[in-house]
Amino acid sequence: AIDGLRSAHGRPAIGRLRFVTSHPWDLSDRLIAALADCPSVCEHLHLPVQAGDDEVLRRMGRQYTVEHYAERLARIREAVPGITISTDVIVGFCGETETQFEATVRLLETVRYDQVFAAAYSPRPGTPATRLPDDVPPDVKRRRLNELLAVQEGIGLERNRAWLGREVEVLVDTVTPPRSHEHASEGPETGPHLAGRTRGNKLVHLGGDPTLIGSLVTARIE
């Protein structure tokens, strides 16, 4: 219904529509079809997986299996070619074994997310997990988190390098102050530091006039 709103010129009234997040259990075929068919919906989806082991997912109360998650992910990638996928992961959840953690790392290596937001588990008041023993030692949580982030850093770099030389539509939304270690000659020669997002939610740094804030521009990825 939102995608159907049109301006006087017949263009989508809202040029970019994206989900903040989506639970895998709610990623129905109907929703996938909407993602594929609605021109205003961006080619990006944040689909939290949290863990790559079924027993850990069960203890988390996530109500899906790794197999179900992978099937939904394959369906959305088939329906929206080139879609970028980000996710959330928690390491060191109650009772997580080393084998179960390694299964999560393998999932990242298989799926090859564009971006992963990862954290070590800590009890959150009012959640069912507080009834479970927080039995993974803090030093083990830190090690697992660092290992997982190191794996994802390589995957993310590879995914980003695939965009080199391509032209993308960027919604410019930020003027970024130069960092203290940068010299004037190091920044883009076309003007102040600006930043924005592609339809796939990739962060792009570019140079230009601050009046570009709020505008859609075409940028070549270098």
pLDDT value for 22: 84
> In the chain, what percentage of residues exceed pLDDT 70?
94
Sign of CA dihedral 127, 131, 132, 133: positive
Q: What is the pLDDT of residue 126?
A: 87
- Average the pLDDT over each of 30-39, 110-119, 176-185 and give the range with the smallest value: 176-185
Residue 184 scores a pLDDT above 60:
no
Banded model confidence at residue 180, pLDDT cuts 50, 70, 90: low
pLDDT, residue 128, reads: 87
Kindly state the percentage of the chain with pLDDT values over 90.
83
Side by side, which strands form the sheet with 167-175? 203-207, 193-197, 167-175, 216-220
pLDDT beyond 80 at 181:
no
Q: Determine which of 66-70, 85-89, 156-160, 183-187 has the lowest per-residue pLDDT on average.
A: 183-187
Beta bridge partners of 169: 218
Alpha carbon separation from 117 to 103, 113, 185, 209, 217 (Å, rounded): 17, 10, 33, 32, 28
Residue 19 pLDDT greater than 90, yes or no: no
* Sheet of 44-46, strand order: 44-46, 84-91, 115-120
pLDDT attached to residue 200: 96
- Supply the pTM of this predicted model: 0.89
Q: Where are the alpha helices (DSSP H) in 123-177?
A: 138-161
Mean pLDDT for the chain? 93
Residues 90-116, mean pLDDT to the nearest whole number: 98
Task: Give the pLDDT score at 21.
Answer: 79
- The stretch 25-36 carries a mean pLDDT of 93
